[in-house]
Amino acid sequence: MNAVVAAVGIMLILSLCRVHVVVALIVGALAGGLLGGLGIEGSLAAFNKGLGGGATVALSYALLGAFAVAIAKSGLAHALADKALAMVGKQDAKGAGLLKWLLIALLLVVAISSQNILPIHIAFIPLLVPPLLYVLSKLQLDRRLIACVLTFGLITPYMFLPVGFGGIFLNDILLANVASGGVDTTGLDVTKAMAIPALGMLCGLLVAVLFSYRKKRVYDLSKIEQVERVDVAYNPLSLLVAGVAIGAAFVVQLWLDSMIIGALAGFIIFSVSGVVRWKEADGLFTEGMKMMAMIGFIMIAAAGFAEVMKATGEVKTLVDSAAELIGHDKALGALLMLLVGLLVTMGIGSSFSTVPIIAAIFVPLGMQLGFSPLAILCIVGTAGALGDAGSPASDSTLGPTSGLNVDGQHNHIWDSVVPTFLHYNLPLLVFGWAAAMVI
């Protein structure tokens, strides 16, 4: 059996059996390394080599956690939550329904904005979602729906809109790798290539919102009260300082292209202003880092997993095997290329890392099969995006879980990973294949 298939399969099966994702990634990586001929020492060496690749992201998320706790201390997010909670108490059933849709729309707009308008990715989730959990639970909103809404906003914009993270994915990664493979991309509209796959993501969102999770789901409000400050004191000064700190964090991040320095700058403003007392700063900083520690460790383990998969050389073998099966069948070729992309991204957890790996083989294969340059762009881009939703190691699923599970009532695998896999990967596979055949 191909080492990559075995490694990803073992990781997914263990995760679905509620084995912690970090453990599942380590076991899957070692199994893949052994099957790929690296031996135990070679597998460990490759895994350790890859760990450094996730360290920057892990530290970024740890500092974002500290920044999130400082914002919670200021009461900014809780001021919004209090307004919403007051509306819940005053509304009848019809008004509560309207508030529910307003909150869903708010989270969707913020998630989309985090990829393009203010490219902060998942940084907003620990800032905004935990304070709203009490309100969401009072409305008995299914958190699986919120996970689907957030994941849509984290993935679809970079797939389709060439701004912010979308500019990096579509132009710097997708277009550049396809061009380097020998395809003349002059004048090609990458947005047009990804329009139909993005429509598949939209259909998945509509199914989740309108059908899958419309029923009410009851959560234990007392558990939320134990971990989330529902009665934080705030005043105009603390709210003003919070606004300045958030603005400064965004500006610094965009200026230096560093989430680490941006979050640190925001935390320093809170400390200097007195909103976070100096003697409390150390404890709050530690609390925030603990909140995001799981994401950090999973991202580090995922980087090690990806390095082992690359070291085995089995990714190329997997792609070559798919090429042999395809022959000259364009329809089968498009389907197998998308499935390989899904498998690779599910293991690595990053669309941005998957495209360079698969483009080297998929581009000449697509040319051989007679696909148009636009269709090749679509196949490679969709194959890379497949698996970002629904991967246990993807920050597009880890981010929503970090905000929705602060009270322990939202399981990462069954409440984030499985719902997003079903609602986004399946339609993306169908729409991506259809797009490759018609454009």
pLDDT for 53 equals 67
Q: Which CA distances in Å does 270 have to 238, 282, 290, 294, 308?
A: 9, 13, 19, 25, 41
- Interval 272-300 mean pLDDT: 75
> What pTM value is reported for the model?
0.81
- Interval 65-69 mean pLDDT: 76
Q: How many other CB atoms are there within 10 angstroms of residue 256's CB atom?
A: 12
CA-to-CA distance for 112 and 114, rounded, in angstroms?
5
Q: How far apart are the first and last CA of the chain?
A: 35
pLDDT for 49 equals 87
Residue pLDDT, tens place only, 373-432:
999 999 999 998 998 888 898 889 988 998 899 899 999 999 999 999 999 999 999 999
The chain-wide mean pLDDT, for the chain, equals 85
Both tokens assigned to 150: 């957030």
- The amino acid present at 256, given as its one-letter code, is L
Both tokens assigned to 274: 């007195």
CA-to-CA distance for 250 and 245, rounded, in angstroms?
9
CA-to-CA distance for 409 and 65, rounded, in angstroms?
19
CA-to-CA distance for 16 and 77, rounded, in angstroms?
33
Residue pLDDT, tens place only, 305-316:
888 888 888 877
- Interval 70-90 mean pLDDT: 73
Share of the chain above pLDDT 90, in %: 35
**Structure-model confidence comparison of residues 353 and 313, the more confident one:** 313
